Amino acid sequence: MRTAREYIPGLSLLVVGAGLARVAGARVPGVNELLVAIVIGVVLTNAVGIPTWMRRGVRTHNLWLGAGIVLMGASLALDTIVESGAVVVVSVLAVTLFTLVYVEALARGVFGLGERLGSLLAAGSSICGVSAVVAVAGSIEAKEEHLAYAAATVLLFDAITLLAYPVIGRVLELPAQVFGMWAGLSMFSTGPVVAVGFEHSSAAGQWATVTKLTRNALIGVVAVGYATYYARRRMDTDGSSSVQWRELWDRFPKFVLGFLALALIASAGVFSAGQLASMETAYGWLFLLAFVGLGTDLELQKLRCAGVRPVLVVLLAFATVSVVSLAGLLTVVG
């Protein structure tokens, strides 16, 4: 009981911050509530400071994020992905692979960032935003400040694209399929993708959702790939010649398995529409709790060491992928 009571103050802080972020997202048009949540955490840790007696509860944010990712798997309709056709699948595979390699090359070769921070930025840019950042962070033992910075960078671009994409779609008069697939291929997080898709039209919203969920399905593959790479690197350093599967299992983020399992169950039609809606509401709140906590890891004194380089890496990669994918879609399906 004494241990449980030690978590209550910090958890209460996360709950209050999540509630404020939800209100801001509902009442202010165009505001991403997840970005507000992380900003609240940033303000708390830098302007106010987190008291020692609150820190234990605040640091549970990784638990809530992992639980949210598991529940998010219910929104992954595998049968819909299969029916979406070769164009979506091939486009997603090509863009994902290109983005992973491009961001890694920019981060390490051009901007001189640490390899783990570069990998987090690559995962977030190529797969599904913060969810991919967290999945990969768990498998490569990334520092918490790197995780928080990568998450904040991804959410910054989510906020920008949430406002910019509908304007670009109207100015260029993009067809529904082109706009929906473009959003699904180049934007980072699922919520903003779906929002801008349906803001354009119902058809665009459907294409955006299918395309984005196809990208989301690669989260497990990428997490395992990074876990294997970093585990092998560490073992080679230690003098071991091969990867031990026990080591990989210990490093692998177990919530990714829950995510994939729930996706399979949901695709089998086990859950009702009401149950799916409840799970969506639940993981939305879990993400808000987690992002307030993640924001508290963004201590500006520490982040000054990284500077603007991570943002520039993602900016260059995003601009390239956005332009190239739109040009390709206009040629193939436009």
| DSSP output for 250-279 | HHS-HHHHHHHHHHHHHHTT-S-HHHHHHH
The secondary structure of residue 174, as a DSSP letter, is -
Model confidence at 23, in pLDDT bands (50, 70, 90)?
A: very high
Reported pTM: 0.66
CB 219 within 8 A of CB 253: no
Instruction: Name the percent of the chain lying above pLDDT 90.
Output: 27
pLDDT at 334 over 70: no
pLDDT value at residue 241: 46
Rounded to an integer, the average pLDDT of 287-311 is 76
Least confident of 33-47, 58-72, 95-109, 236-250: 236-250
- Among 41-45, 137-141, 171-175, the range with the most confident prediction by mean pLDDT is 171-175
Model confidence at 180, in pLDDT bands (50, 70, 90)?
A: very high
Average pLDDT along the chain: 82
Rounded to an integer, the average pLDDT of 123-152 is 82
pLDDT value at residue 246: 59
Rounded to an integer, the average pLDDT of 94-114 is 92
pLDDT at 168 over 90: yes
Instruction: Name the percent of the chain lying above pLDDT 70.
Output: 86
What whole-number distance in Å separates Cα of residue 325 and Cα of residue 238? Answer: 42
Higher pLDDT, 305 or 120: 120
What whole-number distance in Å separates Cα of residue 319 and Cα of residue 262? Answer: 34
Model confidence at 65, in pLDDT bands (50, 70, 90)?
A: confident
pLDDT in tens, 196-211: 888 888 788 878 877 8
Model confidence at 80, in pLDDT bands (50, 70, 90)?
A: low
pLDDT at 322 over 90: yes
CB 57 within 8 A of CB 12: yes
Model confidence at 78, in pLDDT bands (50, 70, 90)?
A: low
- List, as one string, the DSSP characters of 306-318: TTTHHHHHHHHHH
- Among 45-49, 171-175, 305-309, the range with the most confident prediction by mean pLDDT is 171-175
What whole-number distance in Å separates Cα of residue 32 and Cα of residue 29? Answer: 9
Which residue stretches of the chain are H helix?
Answer: 2-27, 33-43, 52-58, 61-72, 78-83, 86-105, 115-126, 130-140, 144-172, 176-186, 190-200, 202-216, 219-237, 245-251, 254-267, 273-296, 300-303, 309-332
Model confidence at 268, in pLDDT bands (50, 70, 90)?
A: confident
Higher pLDDT, 295 or 278: 278
Model confidence at 22, in pLDDT bands (50, 70, 90)?
A: very high
Q: CA dist 33 to 156, 159, 160, 211, 221, Å?
A: 12, 10, 13, 23, 29
Here the tokens at position 305 are 């060491």
Residue 90: which residues within 8 A CB-CB, separation 6 or more? Answer: none
The secondary structure of residue 299, as a DSSP letter, is -
The whole-angstrom distance between residue 251's C-alpha and the CA centroid of its chain comes to: 19
b/e code 207-238 from CB counts within 10 Å (16+ = b) = bbbbbbbbbbbbbbebbbebbbebbbeeeeee
pLDDT at 12 over 90: yes
* Total Cβ atoms within 10 A of residue 107: 26
Higher pLDDT, 13 or 236: 13
